[in-house]
Amino acid sequence: MGREQRARGRSIAGTRCYLCRNPIDPNTEEWNRDHVPPRRLFASAVRRQFAPNLQSLPTHRSCNTAAERDEAYFIVSFAGHLDSDVAQEVMKDIAAGARRGEGVGLIREVISRFGRVIGPNGQVLFSYDSNRVDQFLWKVVRGIFTLELGTNAVLPTKPPAGITLMRPKQTPDELQNLAWFPRVRDTEPMGRYGRVFDYKWLSWKDGNLRGHAFAMLFWDRLLAALLFHDPSCRCGNCDDWRQGR
């Protein structure tokens, strides 16, 4: 371990891994950094052209590796359904990796789900593992939350119930079921990376209730909306979720 790496280890000693919420001991545990938002959302061509300076958070290496599986699942499942150029560039990376034998099993799994679900208007949809997708969306929100509020501000590991993903081919009209969405929609965007990843965030307090509303846009086409309580909330209804039970 070189001098710089030892110094970096001392600087993160005791910092909580935002993925598992436990402190990192660089003397006894392997650790690395996780990009927020995930680097793989950015196609190699986009990174070469725009060189986005992605922020990162220290994590346990094992936590980061485990989270990468859901990240890959999300990207392979959805990038190919979107007609934006930034999503299609991601698909080129996926295809190039497949030619090298990378991620072939995951690609086959995703392809096998096409045409299994027929929509009310006769359209062909596809099925996906909502638990894995929710885990990925929640991971991105948790990363943003910790980046903005400090490395010891960490959210529960379990995704909240209030996650909505507007799948490709769905209409924005379906967002009308989310009465809170217009309020976060009308706030200023906070993302730094434009059409690859953008987000909006609205927080509120009402007595003992504290909460957050998030809207995230992936590849300029895929919208996710999340509503959840703050870790400092004292409403009494979210105790089990906040404490990870």
pLDDT tens for residues 124-164?
Answer: 567 788 999 999 999 999 999 999 998 788 999 999 988 99
For residues 75 and 94, the answer to whether their CB atoms sit within 8 Å is yes
Rg (CA), the chain: 19
CA–CA separation, 138 and 123 (whole Å): 29
Range from 35-44, 178-187, 232-241 carrying the lowest mean pLDDT:
232-241
Q: Record the tokens describing residue 219, joined without a space.
A: 């590849």
Q: Record the tokens describing residue 106, joined without a space.
A: 């995951």
Question: Is the residue at 45 inside a domain?
Answer: no
For residues 110 and 81, the answer to whether their CB atoms sit within 8 Å is no
Q: According to the model, what pLDDT value does residue 6 have?
A: 47
Q: According to the model, what pLDDT value does residue 2 have?
A: 43
Number of domains into which the chain is organized: 1
Question: Is the residue at 213 inside a domain?
Answer: yes
Average pLDDT of the residues in 38-47: 95
Kind and range of the H or E run holding 224: strand 222-229
Which residues sit opposite 10 in a β-bridge?
Answer: none
Question: Is the residue at 176 inside a domain?
Answer: yes
Q: According to the model, what pLDDT value does residue 177 have?
A: 79
Question: Is the residue at 32 inside a domain?
Answer: no
Backbone torsions φ then ψ of 96, nearest 5 degrees: -65, -40
Question: Is the residue at 21 inside a domain?
Answer: no
Strands of 100-187 (E only): list them. 114-118, 124-126, 162-166
Question: Is the residue at 52 inside a domain?
Answer: no
Average pLDDT of the residues in 66-94: 92
Question: Is the residue at 117 inside a domain?
Answer: yes
Average pLDDT of the residues in 11-18: 88
Q: According to the model, what pLDDT value does residue 12 have?
A: 84
Give the residue numbers spanning the domain of 127.
73-242
Q: According to the model, what pLDDT value does residue 122 have?
A: 61
Q: What's the predicted TM-score (pTM) here?
A: 0.89
pLDDT band of 80, cuts 50, 70, 90: confident
Question: Is the residue at 4 inside a domain?
Answer: no
